[in-house]
């Protein structure tokens, strides 16, 4: 790894499969993760939510429309109930827990774990989710996880809470489209513990790149799927490029580096 202040953190941009190879198989499933690994990607991004009985599971969406339960949330059901539901393209495996994900994919590639803390949840559930995730990472990982497993969230207080209890894990704050460069600078000034930021590709520009490099932060971008989006991220020299089409992103990166 290269980690020079003011420069790109890695020797080349790392390509992360967004929820696995989600154009090949249902996102956040073993099938999607295994398909992504066949592309020789650098990392996998996934999403963690909490069942009603506080089991950490992999699921992105706010609702369960994908399995015919419109208007219902993950946290409306105990894990034992969730296991009985029909999750398409999972070979009858059902919903994957975060522990199962770590058991199967830790050390096979880098992992970016996004904690989905929702506005309707009480703060105690946000904290429980964070506590479980970092505890499982600490159990699975070496004494120093370095940057092999990164935890991210759009909820900054949750990241502060997690860092205060487990400072050895790298934390990334996810930025929304409506946040400005001034918001980013304020966050960097107030939360120096952050390993980096993850920004929407539409928001990224050279000014923000320079700002993040000044603070020596990791720069991740989501979700780069078109040729223009991937080319923009590679030209700006981001550290982590998250894509639904990781094979395309890998090919473009390898052409850039003459690999």
Q: Tell me, what DSSP letter sits at residue 26?
A: -
User: For residues 84 and 205, what is the distance between their CA atoms, to the nearest angstrom?
Assistant: 46
Q: What is the pLDDT of residue 86?
A: 76
- Confidence (pLDDT) at 4: 43
CATH number of the domain at 14-174, please?
Answer: 3.20.20.190
At 195 the pLDDT is 98
Task: Return the domain boundaries, the chain.
Answer: 14-174
Which parts of the chain sit beneath pLDDT 50?
1-4
- CB contact at 8 A, 152 and 175: no
Q: What is the pLDDT of residue 116?
A: 97
pTM, full prediction: 0.94
Pairing of strands 14-18, 240-243: parallel
Q: Tokens 């993850």: give the residue.
A: 198
Helix spans in the chain (H) = 30-37, 79-82, 98-105, 123-140, 156-165, 181-190, 206-214, 227-236, 246-256
């Amino acid at each position: 790894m290269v980690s020079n202040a003011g420069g790109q953190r890695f020797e080349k941009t790392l390509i992360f499969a967004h929820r696995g190879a989600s154009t090949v198989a249902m996102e956040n499933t073993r099938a999607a993760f295994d398909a992504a690994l066949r592309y020789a990607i650098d990392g996998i991004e996934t999403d963690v939510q909490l069942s009603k009985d506080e089991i950490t599971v992999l699921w992105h969406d706010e609702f369960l429309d994908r399995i015919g339960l419109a208007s219902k949330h993950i946290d409306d059901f105990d894990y034992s109930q969730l296991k009985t539901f029909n999750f398409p393209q999972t070979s009858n495996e059902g919903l994957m827990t975060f522990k199962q994900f770590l058991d199967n994919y830790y050390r096979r590639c880098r992992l970016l774990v996004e904690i989905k803390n929702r506005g309707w949840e009480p703060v105690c559930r946000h904290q429980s989710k964070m506590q479980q995730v970092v505890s499982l990472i600490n159990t699975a990982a070496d004494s120093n996880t370095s940057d092999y497993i990164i935890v991210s969230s759009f909820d900054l207080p949750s990241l502060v809470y997690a860092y205060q209890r487990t400072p050895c894990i790298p934390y990334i704050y996810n930025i929304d489209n409506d946040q400005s460069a001034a918001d980013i600078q304020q966050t960097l000034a107030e939360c120096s513990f952050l390993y980096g930021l993850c920004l929407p590709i539409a928001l990224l520009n050279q000014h923000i790149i320079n700002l993040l490099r000044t603070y020596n932060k990791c720069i991740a971008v989501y979700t780069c799927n078109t040729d223009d989006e991937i080319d923009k991220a590679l030209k700006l020299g981001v550290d982590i490029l998250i894509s639904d089409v990781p094979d395309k992103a890998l090919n473009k990166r390898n052409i850039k580096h003459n690999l």
